Amino acid sequence: MILNLLSDTTPLKFSGKNGQRTVLDPIRKKWLALTPEELVRQLFVVYLIRKLEYPASRIAVEKQIRMDRTIKRFDLVVYSSALAPFLLIECKSPEVMLDEQVVSQVVRYNLAVKADFLCIVNGLECRVFQKSEDGRWREVDFLPAYIP
């Protein structure tokens, strides 16, 4: 689905430190280097909170997960009110195509997270997947409503 988050950056707080642009992460309450991927991540966090009314307290940003013998980091996970992983989100820079390689990455991460929905986003486009009863992922054309 088309989701042009890049057209409005006014909800974000920017700063400049030592010649480097930074953006405030409202979840972790810290300033981060403003990279294209970080811009997408922060705009999507704002979208989840303001547009979809997901509680900020149920969003985790860049946490480590163990996959076999390696440590990886997911971008975002939204937890249900029962604190079960509900939505796993992988953010990419706007120039990255949301192709099968990116889908495979979020599916691999979900082996550790075990969310019911997966999402990949690059600021311009968003792809969402829901696990069907037969255990396969099928693409859907919506972001799920938050489950209180």
Instruction: Report the domain count for the chain.
Output: 1
Which CATH number belongs to the domain containing residue 127 in this structure? 3.90.320.10
Domain housing 134: 36-140
Is the Cβ–Cβ distance between 45 and 76 less than 8 Å? yes
pLDDT at 10: 92
From first to last of its 148 residues, the chain has per-residue pLDDT tens of 998 999 999 999 999 877 899 999 999 999 999 999 999 999 999 999 999 999 999 999 999 898 888 898 999 999 999 999 999 999 999 999 999 999 999 999 999 999 999 999 999 999 999 998 898 999 999 999 987 7
- How many C-alpha atoms does 46 have within 13 Å on its Cβ side? 19
Residue 66: per-residue pLDDT: 87
Residue 135 belongs to some domain of the structure: yes
Residue 42: partners with Cβ closer than 8 Å, 6 or more residues away: 12, 23, 24, 25, 26, 32
Q: What share of the chain is helix, strand, coil (3-state, %, to 5)?
A: 25, 35, 40
User: pTM for this structure?
Assistant: 0.94
Contacts of 82 (CB under 8 A, 6+ apart): none
